[in-house]
Amino acid sequence: MNKKLNLPGIAALSIAILFGMLMASACRSSVPGASDKKSKRTPDYVFTYAENQTSDYPTTQAARYFAGLVNEKTEGRIEIRVYPAAELGDEVSTMEQMKYGGIDFARGSLSSLADYSPESVVLQMPYLYKNADHMWRVLDGEIGGDIMESFQGSGLKALAWFDAGVRNFYTIDKPISCLEDMRGLEIRVQDSSLAKDMIKALGATPVPMVYEDVGDALQTHTVDGAENNWSSYEAMKHDAYARYYSLDEHMRIPELLIMSEVTWGKLSTEDQDIILKCAVEAGNYERKLWKMREDSSRQKCIKSGTVEIALSDREKQRFRTEMNELYEKYCGDYMDIIDKIASAASLA
């Protein structure tokens, strides 16, 4: 039998298939941080990236975005595998491993990086910034650049700033509405001398422990409370045990996308340049995600029972006054930088 070819039908089918393929590839390259951006070639390098936050957290999403960009821009020569939720260890031990090239990349809170850049303490002093704009003005300017530079030779290379919002106190039994409410409380802090001294200056007792253990410590009432930003409070489910969240806004601790200097030294200048550019893009991406997450975390917690306590400006000033001794102790050598940061407040 003489079968007639249905040419318009075949053409339509081919167009549909072609369209489908184009759409699939367009979607692949437009999904930020999607792992399917990975090139098919065998990579020359497979690097590790440590993150102590959950998989959906803004910093983890930015890590995957960074990994995708680097893989794309190096045409598959560099693959970066992101390990969230402290799979590679807590923040401090991650930095130690990075020093020797055991871990290649990470995102870290500046409070865990004091050993690598002593002057970085100036960027995390309590009640330093008027608001987020003020902080970003400082980080994006000369001071932020100088502090990134100051990591040189420490074993860690600073690549880009990430946002981590503002930290507040939260408690199990009773809300903190004024300075006197802090007295006698046992509060979990990061294992940093600045954080510990801050708690002591406010009349409470610091209990340093790693981030991953805070939920259990709140649940078992080993501590009376802790302090962190809205996103961490919600992501780590601290709201389930400590429902009083007081807006004292004591600290903004910037975060850094960092790289092992050992790993950095293995790369060509071309690849180093790609890494730097992709890190800056990942930083911008994280800032956008951060704003949304901070807001949605707050709403989610309030909906499920968190009591938000506003503090008056006068009360916050009383907290701030208690910090004077810390400025003397930690910033004696850097008062010029503190003054410059303070003068940038009027522009924010």
Residue among 101, 3, 84 nearest 49 (CA): 84
Least distance to ligand GCU, CB of residue 198, Å: 13
Among 60, 120, 232, 306, binds ligand GCU (CB under 6 A): 232
Binding mask 281-310 for ligand GCU (x = CB under 6 A): ------------------------------
In the structure encoding, which two tokens stand for residue 130, read together? 């008027």
Residue among 184, 185, 293, 174 nearest 242 (CA): 174
Least distance to ligand GCU, CB of residue 109, Å: 4
Among 164, 204, 267, 323, binds ligand GCU (CB under 6 A): 164
**Which ranges of 79-206 would DSSP assign to H, the alpha helix?**
91-99, 132-140, 142-149, 193-201
List phi, psi (to 5°) of 189. -135, 165
Q: Does 124 sit near ligand GCU (CB under 6 A)?
A: no
Task: Choose between 60 and 263: whose C-beta lies nearer to ligand GCU.
Answer: 60
Task: Choose between 103 and 164: whose C-beta lies nearer to ligand GCU.
Answer: 164
Task: Choose between 198 and 274: whose C-beta lies nearer to ligand GCU.
Answer: 198
Least distance to ligand GCU, CB of residue 289, Å: 13
Alpha carbon 272 to chain centroid, angstroms: 22
Distance, CA of 304 to CA of 75 (rounded, Å): 46
Residues 241 and 303: beta-carbon distance below 8 Å: no
Distance, CA of 60 to CA of 35 (rounded, Å): 13
Binding mask 21-60 for ligand GCU (x = CB under 6 A): -------------------------------x--------
Q: Does 109 sit near ligand GCU (CB under 6 A)?
A: yes
Least distance to ligand GCU, CB of residue 309, Å: 20
Among 94, 120, 190, 306, binds ligand GCU (CB under 6 A): 190
Task: Choose between 211 and 285: whose C-beta lies nearer to ligand GCU.
Answer: 211
Inter-CA distances, 105 with 80, 82, 192, 193, Å = 8, 9, 22, 25
Least distance to ligand GCU, CB of residue 106, Å: 9
Q: Please give the size of the binding site for ligand GCU, defined by CB under 6 A.
A: 9
Sequence-distant (6+) residues with CB within 8 A of 49 are 63, 66, 67, 80, 81, 82, 83, 103, 104, 105, 106
Among 117, 192, 228, 260, binds ligand GCU (CB under 6 A): 228
Q: Does 91 sit near ligand GCU (CB under 6 A)?
A: yes
Least distance to ligand GCU, CB of residue 36, Å: 27
- DSSP of 241-272: T--EEEEEEEE---EEEEEEHHHHHHS-HHHH
Q: Which amino acid is at 113?
A: L
Residues 59 and 285: beta-carbon distance below 8 Å: no
Decide: helix, strand or coil at residue 43: coil
Task: Choose between 74 and 136: whose C-beta lies nearer to ligand GCU.
Answer: 136
Least distance to ligand GCU, CB of residue 78, Å: 25
Task: Choose between 232 and 263: whose C-beta lies nearer to ligand GCU.
Answer: 232
Binding site for ligand GCU (CB under 6 A): 52, 91, 109, 164, 190, 211, 228, 232, 255
